[in-house]
Amino acid sequence: MKPRLPRSLLGQFVALHIVTALIATIALSLGVAALLHSTADHYQRRLLRQQAAIVASALPSYAALRSDALTDGMAIAVIDRNRAVLLAKGPARPPVIAAATLDQGSHFFRRGVVEAYSLPTRGGRWIVASQDSAAPEVVTDDIVSAFLKRFALLVLPIAALVPLIGALLTRRLTRRMQAVSATAAAIGPRTLDTRLPRGTLPSEVEPLAMATNEALDRLEDGFRTQAAFAADIAHELRTPLAVIRLRADAVDDAAVKAGVLAAVDRAARVVTQLLALADLERPVEEDGEPLDLLALAGAVVAGRAPEIIGGGRTIALEDQSSDVGGTGYPGAIVLALENLVDNAVRHTPPGTAIVVQIGPGPSLSVTDDGDGVAPDQLARLKDRFWRTDGSRSEGSGIGLSIVDRVARAHHGVLDVATGPGGRGLRFTMTLGPRSS
């Protein structure tokens, strides 16, 4: 099974550093141990060679075999071709004598912890010098063992410090990347002028930030072109619509005249909505005006009441807030509320009660007691040109989508739910804290 690394860059960096540090520590310890043992063997063999040479130079007097001339743990033996010991000083070591190579060359060999050296001399004799590395008096291996322990105590903290430092550096890098990511996440339709900071990311990631900024430049140009196009079209349509309305007033046929005027009014309303949407592209914090939700709702109710009452419905205004104001686009709020009221009138039968409510908090809602829609279709009511029966709306088809856009422009949300008692619908536009 393939090992799985952490998904985060910091986790991968720390994991790889820990593995690397462990491998480096083990390899370094083994290398140092091998070097120390090699150095100790080198000095030990040199000592054995020197001692054997001293004895060989003194033969046949054997004067060099004084016990006080031998170092601790060392033994010297002179043997013949039959391995008979002619003279010995120091500990007796029969296994070493038995393992000695008796030819015309000098040899190092080892038996257990004893390092030995055989040297041929004149007269068919051999000098065998040996050193017991485990003798208490011999400190070479003790030094090696003690050094390795202390070396390990020194290397392990350093090995642990390496991934820690790497983790801290990586954490600093990832924090900068998180800050840039937060900047990118905050970019929206009304903050397209925001760009990712330059010079804060690693050189390997900097091209991604540059490419993102270039894409945002193109996207901002596209949004501005689209908003300008919508505004220009709306302005260009106003004059022809006014001319058509004047011409329609001169039509003698009342039925034709009413139909033409209704179509002109509908087109004029679409033009007004396009202009309102173009205005919503500006940040509400910069271009907003003081809001009086109760006064705005009162104006809408008063303006729509005669037509609604004449159609056999009722409309009422309820105030459940206390001094709800804030900053926003009054024209857009009025347009959204008119859309909600007109939507209620358009989709409810005569005898329906419509209630416009302000509050609680920075919210406006329109409730009716009509037939309503199925709960699984509530979310789709904000889709453009959608109706429960699948047919095209008799209006412009963008009313609720505009209300939703107005709510989002004020950092809020449009919520659609079933009305009180399970009848009708309730549309609630809640404004966000930054616009209230």
Write out pLDDT tens, residues 258-296.
777 777 777 777 677 666 666 666 666 566 788 888 888
Q: How buried is residue 122: exposed, middle or buried, by Cβ count under 10 Å (0-12/13-18/19+)?
A: exposed
Report how far residue 238's alpha carbon sits from residue 334's, in angstroms, rounded to the nearest whole number.
20
Q: What is the DSSP string of 150-183?
A: HHHHHHHHHHHHHHHHHHHHHHHHHHHHHHHHHH
CB 219 within 8 A of CB 195: no
Model pLDDT, residue 117? 92
Rounded Cα–Cα distance for residues 140 and 138 (Å): 6
Torsion, Cα 386 334 235 247, to 10 degrees, reads: 80
Sign for the pseudo-dihedral over CA of 359, 363, 369, 372: negative
Distance CA 285, CA 410 (A): 9
332, 276 contact by CB (below 8 A): yes
- Ordered structural domains, the chain, with CATH: 9-142 (3.40.1840.10), 206-279 (1.10.287), 288-435 (3.30.565.10)
Mean pLDDT throughout 362-381?
Answer: 79
Work out whether strand 314-319 and strand 353-358 pair parallel, antiparallel, or are unpaired: parallel
pLDDT at 194 over 60: yes
Phi-psi region of 352 (alpha: psi -120 to 50; beta: other; left: phi over 0): beta
Name the nearest CA neighbour of 328 among 422, 430, 425, 246. 430
Query: Is residue 87 over pLDDT 80?
Result: yes
Residue 108 β-bridge partners: 117
**Which is higher by pLDDT, 150 or 259?**
259
Q: What is the pLDDT of residue 396?
A: 44
193: three-class secondary structure by DSSP: coil
pTM attached to this predicted model: 0.48
**Is the pLDDT reported for residue 357 higher than 70?**
yes
**Segment 87-104 mean pLDDT:** 88
- Nearest CA to 78 among 105, 61, 138? 61
Q: How buried is 257 (Cβ within 10 angstroms: 0-12 exposed, 13-18 middle, 19+ buried)? A: middle
| Lowest mean pLDDT, pick from 207-211, 331-335, 385-389 | 385-389
Neighbours of 255 (CB within 10 A): 8
Q: Would you state the pLDDT for residue 390?
A: 46
- The residue written with tokens 């001399």 in the block is 121
Q: What is the CA radius of gyration of the chain?
A: 49
What mean pLDDT value characterizes the chain?
76
| Least reliable range by pLDDT among 40-54, 153-167, 249-263, 349-363 | 153-167
Residue 50: which pLDDT band, with cuts at 50, 70 and 90?
Answer: confident
Secondary structure letter of residue 399 according to DSSP:
H
CA-wise closest residue to 263 among 247, 277, 279, 286: 247
Rounded to 5°, the CA angle 390-276-415 comes to: 50
Phi (first) and psi of residue 196, to 5 degrees:
-70, 140
Of all residues in the chain, the percent with pLDDT exceeding 90 is 8
Comparing CA positions, the residue from 17, 13, 14, 15 lying closest to residue 3 is: 15
